[in-house]
């Protein structure tokens, strides 16, 4: 209902205004704004690809292992942040692989918004992220 409630629900970060992002990326027949927002919302790694381990301080650390082509290494996910390949950013400090071949993307405070099964349809249609 307001910015304070939104920050409380998102680890202190104000969620992005997707209408502004859509406009900034272009809109209409010539723009890619809506396609970018779709990619951003549906582009989070699958939950089973995110692993956890205990850090030196005893707290859990989430990480993602990459082993595809030249991108080989581990990306640590900061607490309260979520990796998304469509979010521009610099993951250098969290990457332990070859610095010449880092994964594309960055981190944002917005958790995945479209997990499988979040919506229940009356006719039994399976709820998928792509919908």
pLDDT for residue 28: 58
Which residue is it, tokens 């071949």?
Answer: 101
- The encoded tokens of residue 54 equal 């205990």
Write the pLDDT tens digit of every residue in 65-120: 999 888 999 999 998 899 999 999 999 999 999 999 999 999 988 888 888 878 88
Confidence band for 62, pLDDT divided at 50, 70 and 90: very high
Burial of 94 (0-12, 13-18, 19+ CB in 10 A): buried
Contacts 24+ apart (CB under 8 A), 15-24: 15/109, 15/110, 16/108, 16/110
pLDDT digits (tens, 9 = 90+) for 6-55: 888 877 888 888 888 888 887 655 678 888 899 999 999 998 899 999 88
């Amino acid at each position: 209902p307001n910015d304070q409630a939104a920050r409380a629900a998102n680890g202190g970060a104000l969620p992005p205004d997707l209408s502004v992002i859509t406009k900034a990326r272009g809109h209409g027949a010539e723009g890619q704004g809506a396609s970018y927002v779709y990619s951003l919302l549906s582009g989070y790694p699958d939950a089973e690809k995110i692993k956890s381990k205990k850090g030196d301080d005893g707290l859990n650390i989430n990480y993602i292992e990459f082993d595809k082509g030249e991108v080989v290494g581990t990306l640590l996910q900061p607490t309260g942040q979520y990796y998304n390949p469509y979010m521009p950013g610099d993951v250098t400090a969290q990457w332990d692989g070859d610095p010449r071949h880092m994964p594309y993307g960055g981190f944002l405070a917005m958790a995945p918004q479209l997990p499988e099964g979040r919506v229940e349809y009356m006719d039994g249609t399976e709820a998928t992220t792509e919908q």
